[in-house]
Amino acid sequence: MKPSVIEMIYSQHDEIIRQWKNEVTELNQFDSTLPTNWFHETNEEFVNLIMGTLELEENEAKEQFRSFAERLMNAGWPLSYFTKGMQLFRRVLVQMLTSDESFESEKVFETLNEVEKWVDGVINQLVDEYTGSWENTLHLQKLALKELSAPLIPVFEKISVMPLVGTIDTERAKLIMENLLEGIIEHRSQVVLIDITGVPVVDTMVAHHIIQASEAVRLVGAECILVGIRPEIAQTIINLGIDLRKFPTKSTLRKGIETGLELTQRKIISTS
């Protein structure tokens, strides 16, 4: 930044900070999402950081903003606090700088340009920090969801259960198929129970994926039993005209396990 501009900012340093603080307090009075207890301290720190960037080396200034943003991010401060705060800062600054009437118009333009660059740089960095953190969270959640999405649980020798909970989309349908086939080989299952108690809607696509999965299961030499069909789901399946005659279905997981044991020539007996 041009030394002349920096000098000008410094000459009105205290006044700029005072006015900014006033306006930012006013701006955020209506925003109840902000924690009020350390609002003033944060404003103080924020404005000092902004001013600090004038002296510090670029990388150092960036580092300071990063740790500041990270701290506030974890405390739940919205991004809009920063963007609004910076926009306000620019307005205050421009007002100050241009209120001096002795300024030549050419110089005003130049100064504005410098200020724009400065403020926009800080805004961009803050937005990047925030979106980076969101993307990271989203990515981790996707991974977590994927791990939860289609587990195959070996409950008895030769019998495994896949409980499905929630919406089935194409991505998940693929996972169901993969985990089923891999799990059958790994656990040497002969019977797999797919439990759809937790699936809210069974439309033709969901049914289609389940039919395909059970067909694939048959090909690797195991048998698939569909369990957990709720009465209302049974009626919609009939209305839709989906043909599930090809593979066995049971109303509950318990009945499915009994059938599974039967198919593998075993049964549960009471010892009393």
Partner 1 sequence: MSVQSNVEVHSEWGIVSARQAGRNLAKELGFGGVDQARFTTAISELARNIYLYAEQGEIIIETVENSRITGVQRGLKITARDRGPGIKSIREVMEDGYTTSGGLGAGLPGVKRLMDEFDIDSVTGEGTEITAIKWLR
Residues at the site binding partner 1, with contacts judged by CB under 8 A: 167, 169-171, 200-205, 207-208, 211, 231-233, 235-236, 239-242
CB of 91 to partner 1, least distance (A): 35
CB of 108 or CB of 244, closer to partner 1:
244
Least distance in angstroms from the C-beta of 78 to partner 1? 23
- CB closer to partner 1 out of 79 and 233: 233
Nearer of residues 123 and 211 to partner 1, judged by Cβ = 211
What's the closest the beta carbon of residue 33 comes to partner 1, in angstroms? 24
C-beta of 219 vs 268, nearer to partner 1: 219
Burial of 188 (0-12, 13-18, 19+ CB in 10 A): exposed
Beta carbon of residue 205, minimum distance to partner 1 (angstroms, whole number): 6
With respect to partner 1, which residue has the nearer C-beta, 31 or 169?
Answer: 169
3 state SS of 12: coil
| For partner 1, the closer CB: 22 or 167 | 167
Q: Residue 202 CB, nearest distance to partner 1 (Å)? A: 7
Give whichever of 56 and 238 is closer to partner 1, judged by the CB atom.
238
Percent helix, strand and coil across the chain, each rounded to 5? 65, 10, 25
Angle between helices 231-240 and 204-219 (to 10 degrees): 90
Got the DSSP string for 153-208?
Answer: EEEETTEEEEEEES---HHHHHHHHHHHHHHHHHHT-SEEEEEEEE-S---HHHHH
| 111 DSSP β-pair partners | none
89 and 20 Cβ atoms separated by less than 8 Å: yes
Q: What angle do CA 30, 34, 37 make, to 5 degrees?
A: 110
The residue among 248, 254, 236 whose CA lies nearest residue 155 is 254
Q: How far apart are CA 136 and CA 251, in angstroms?
A: 41
Q: Please, what is the minimum distance in Å from the beta carbon of residue 191 to partner 1?
A: 25
Burial class (CB in 10 A: 0-12, 13-18, 19+), 83: middle
Q: 270: how many CB neighbours lie within 10 A of its CB?
A: 4
Q: How far is the CB of 10 from partner 1 (least distance, A)?
A: 51
